[in-house]
A and B are shown apart, each in its own frame.
Chain A
Amino acid sequence: ETGVTQTPRHLVMGMTNKKSLKCEQHLGHNAMYWYKQSAKKPLELMFVYSLEERVENNSVPSRFSPECPNSSHLFLHLHTLQPEDSALYLCASSQVGGAGYEQYFGPGTRLTVT
């Protein structure tokens, strides 16, 4: 439960605001992920960082901007969002290059765009 932490847990923002989501992993992993979870949809992978380099960007709009300053921290910077961006944003981490690709998730940030 405490292996991956996310702040804030809840965020309400207007369409013209700028905010950032923070994720920290305490598992010693070398890869970190951002996912979007919307009602009645599969979890959508947004970004992947491996060894602090972005390795995947799944056609995410530029109003979402990730940042990975080191292997333990991951940010998602938000600006000029749309109401359809309201969702649960989940961070995950894993150890790439090991025996498997088990991903461990944080509790998520519930984002509401008004």
Chain B
Amino acid sequence: QQQVKQSPQSLIVQKGGISIINCAYENTAFDYFPWYQQFPGKGPALLIAIRPDVSEKKEGRFTISFNKSAKQFSLHIMDSQPGDSATYFCAASKNSGYALNFGKGTSLLVTP
């Protein structure tokens, strides 16, 4: 069973727009929620991560919003640029464990 559900599967956004990717989880023991960015031919790279003691974390144009009661978290990319075109993965894990449970990924295309 998939522990982290991610949507949408693909997303097209115009340059300067806001890209929004959503994830939902079931296991309330999860306490670490990273987002990874993957370009073709490369491995996933850690973009930003959040723990459930805060509802939002911002790093530059990237923001994670976290809703503990709804068991949902999302990635917002402000002022999206063509260079942001990549596949984005959300993940969740327990602090006591090793496994990162990944979503299926969202393929983002930012058009000029």
Q: Do A and B come from one complex?
A: yes
Q: Does A4 contact B (CB under 8 A)?
A: yes
Contact yes or no, A41 B43, CB < 8 A: no
User: In whole angstroms, how far apart are the Cα atoms of A83 and B36 in the complex?
Assistant: 28
A102 to B35, CA, bound (A): 10
Given contacts A42-B2, A43-B89, A101-B95, contact A108 B43 (CB under 8 A): yes
B76 at the interface (CB under 8 A from A): no
On chain A, the number of residues with a Cβ less than 8 Å from chain B's Cβ atoms is 27
Q: Which of B13-21, B66-74, B102-110 contacts A (4 or more CB under 8 A)?
A: B102-110
In this assembly, does B100 line the interface, its C-beta being within 8 Å of a C-beta of chain A? yes
A1 CB contacts on chain B under 8 angstroms: 42
Q: How many residues on B have C-beta within 8 angstroms of the other chain's C-beta atoms?
A: 23
CA distance A104 to B99 in the complex (A): 13
CB proximity to B under 8 Å, residues A59-79: none
Task: Let me know if B46 and A103 touch, CB within 8 A.
Answer: yes
Q: Write the nearest CB–CB distance from A5 to chain B, whole angstroms.
A: 10
Q: Give, as a whole number of angstroms, the nearest-CB distance from A30 to chain B.
A: 11
Q: In the assembled complex, which residues on chain A have CB atoms less than 8 Å from the CB atom of B34?
A: 102
Residue from B49, B95, B103 in contact with A42 in the complex, judged by beta carbons closer than 8 Å: B103
In the complex the two chains form, what is the Cα distance from A107 to B101 in whole Å? Answer: 19
CB distance from A69 to the nearest CB of B (A): 20
- In the complex, which residues of chain A have a beta carbon less than 8 angstroms from the beta carbon of B49? 100, 102
The residue from A40, A48, A105 contacting B43, defined by CB atoms under 8 A apart: A105
Scan residues 1-56 of chain A and give those whose CB is less than 8 A from a CB of chain B.
1, 4, 31, 33, 40-43, 45, 48, 50, 55-56
- A-B contacts besides A42-B105, A43-B102, A96-B98, 15 pairs, CB < 8 Å: A41-B104, A42-B2, A42-B89, A42-B104, A43-B44, A43-B89, A43-B100, A45-B100, A48-B98, A58-B99, A92-B43, A105-B36, A107-B43, A108-B42, A108-B43
